[in-house]
Amino acid sequence: MKLEKELKLKQPLASVNHEALLSLVRTSTLMQKLSNRFFSKFDLTDVQFNILMILKAYGAEGLSQQKLSEQLVVGKSNVVGLVDRLEKAGYVKRTSHPSDRRFNQIVLAPKGAKLEQRVEQSYFKEVDRMMNVLAGTEKRVLIHAMEKIRQYILTSKI
Amino acid sequence: MKLEKELKLKQPLASVNHEALLSLVRTSTLMQKLSNRFFSKFDLTDVQFNILMILKAYGAEGLSQQKLSEQLVVGKSNVVGLVDRLEKAGYVKRTSHPSDRRFNQIVLAPKGAKLEQRVEQSYFKEVDRMMNVLAGTEKRVLIHAMEKIRQYILTSKI
DNA sequence: TACGGATAGTTTATAGCTAAACTGTCGCTC
DNA sequence: GAGCGACAGTTTAGCTATAAACTATCCGTA
């Protein structure tokens, strides 16, 4: 459906630029909602699954909350609660670093590893289903366009 | 920068589909953060500015919270707090519908109209600056691609 | 060795978001 | 006219996010 109708706008969009921007934001919001419907089947949120995937890649050494906050691109204060909830659910383990007690080491607990394994396949299947509505060229243009916008954002403000 | 580096991924991305999806999500997240840095100069959030723009289009008659929640594509319970805060700041007025007390009428207050006016120009200038990193073709492909993905999401689940 | 700066994590206050349960109002039907 | 269902708004509980102020730990230097 056309974006203007979809958003029930009273006035037509002023410019192609604004239309492109709103397209992107709206689509990503809907993807977010779909993703949370998907993960809620496993009593997870998208962020929680993301953390499990990251921790999986880091294996037994795990990560500090600081590193985790960098990977997730969120503030470190946010990570406190995220890890709290995952720890309470038994999916991750939080231990103090033996030689530097400033650090916490967050590692994937067996229960979390099992869950991650179970969700992962299903997740990638969904990703493929959704993104295959695009042609190969469209995907490449999209990836390149997104890179240019990020480039602009990261240099424009710092 | 390449997405894999930007996200500091330990392992390369498994598929073009996943890369395209993460590109989109990551870019939209950064746009969100940039947008909130921008609006915070006016003591606003992106959502609040969006509401002011919507209310402006509806003029003196205003909207019910129900209609507002449809326009914003958020749950109605969310609108309660959004309007609360805008009302407290003096930007909107909330009155009971004269003939049907189930409805609230939300209208833009003069203070809100003045602020909206002031922010709007600056906002569209920023939008142009950012989106003009893309060529015309890229914008058209992007808009079309986003429409296809939304189409998929809206039909796939309902 | 004591001090002061840097670093990691926590707390607090605020904002936005959801789902589910609840209240109040309206209108139709019996 | 009483009652019931539909609809608008509110409340509650929980998740994610920010910024700012705080605590604890470590390490280099004087």
pLDDT digits (tens, 9 = 90+) for A75-124: 999 999 999 999 999 999 999 999 999 999 999 999 999 999 999 999 99
* DSSP secondary structure, A4-37, as one string: HHHTT-SS--S-HHHHHHHHHHHHHHHHHHHHHH
Within 8 A of B139 by CB-CB distance, chain A residues are 16-17, 20
For residues B26 and B2, give the distance between their C-alpha atoms in angstroms, rounded to a whole number: 12
Region B130-150 average pLDDT: 96
In angstroms, the CA A58 to CA A107 distance is 8
- Pick A17's closest partner by Cβ from B10, B14, B131: B131
Q: Which of A6, A29, A37 sits opposite B157 (nearest CB)?
A: A37
Q: Estimate in Å the CA B103 to C1' D2 gap, whole number.
A: 25
Among candidate residues B120, B93, B86, the one with its CA nearest the CA of residue B109: B93
User: Does the pLDDT of residue B157 top 70, yes or no?
Assistant: no
Q: Which amino acid is at A90?
A: G
Cβ pair A58, B10 in contact under 8 A: yes
CA-closest candidate to residue A154, choices B33, B47, B38: B33
| Partners of residue B104 on adjacent β-strands | B96
pLDDT band for position B156 (cuts 50, 70, 90): confident
pLDDT of residue A67: 96
Question: Rounded to a whole number, what is the distance in Å from the CA of A46 to chain B's nearest CA?
Answer: 12
Distance from CA of A90 to the nearest CA of B (A): 24
Q: How confident is the model at residue A6 (pLDDT cuts 50, 70, 90)?
A: confident
Instruction: Say what percent of chain B tops pLDDT 90.
Output: 87
Residue type, B24: L
pLDDT at A158: 46
Q: Are A72 and B25 in contact (CB under 8 A)?
A: no
- Better-scored residue on pLDDT, B10 or A81: A81
pTM above 0.85, yes or no: yes
Q: At what angle do helices B46-58 and B76-88 cross, to 10 degrees?
A: 90
**pLDDT for res A155:** 85
The percent of residues above 90 in pLDDT, for chain A, comes to 87
What rounded mean pLDDT belongs to chain B? Answer: 93
Does A15 sit within 8 Å of B128, measured CB to CB? yes
**Strand D proximal residues, B:115-154, Cβ < 7 Å:** none
Q: Which amino acid is at B79?
A: V
Identify the band that residue B158 occupies on the pLDDT scale cut at 50, 70 and 90: very low
Q: What mean pLDDT is predicted for residues B133-146? A: 96
Q: Which pLDDT value is given to residue B20?
A: 95
| Helices A46-58 and A16-40, packing angle to 10 deg | 80
Q: Is the dihedral of CA A88, A92, A98, A102 positive or negative?
A: negative
- Rounded CA gap, B94 and B81, in Å? 12
A90-94, A96-100, B87-91, B140-144: segment of lowest average pLDDT: A96-100
pLDDT more than 70, % of chain A: 99
How would residue B2 be classed by pLDDT, with cut points 50, 70 and 90? confident
Of A3, A71, A157, the CB nearest to B34: A157
In tens, the pLDDT along A11-20 reads: 788 899 999 9
**pLDDT at residue A102, as a whole number:** 94
Q: What end-to-end distance do the CA atoms of chain B give, in Å?
A: 36
Burial class (CB in 10 A: 0-12, 13-18, 19+), A58: middle
Which residue is listed with tokens 């003096």? B90
- Per-residue confidence band for A128, with pLDDT thresholds at 50, 70 and 90: very high
Please give the pLDDT value at position A2: 80
Write down the pLDDT at residue A157. Answer: 56
pLDDT, tens digit (0-9, with 9 covering 90-100), for B54-71: 999 999 999 999 999 999
B41's CB contacts (< 8 A; 6+ apart) are: none
**d(Cα A88, Cα B15) in Å, to the nearest integer?**
33
Q: Are B50 and B113 in contact (CB under 8 A)?
A: no
Q: Which of A10, A32, A141 to mutate to test the interface with B (most CBs of B within 10 A)?
A: A141
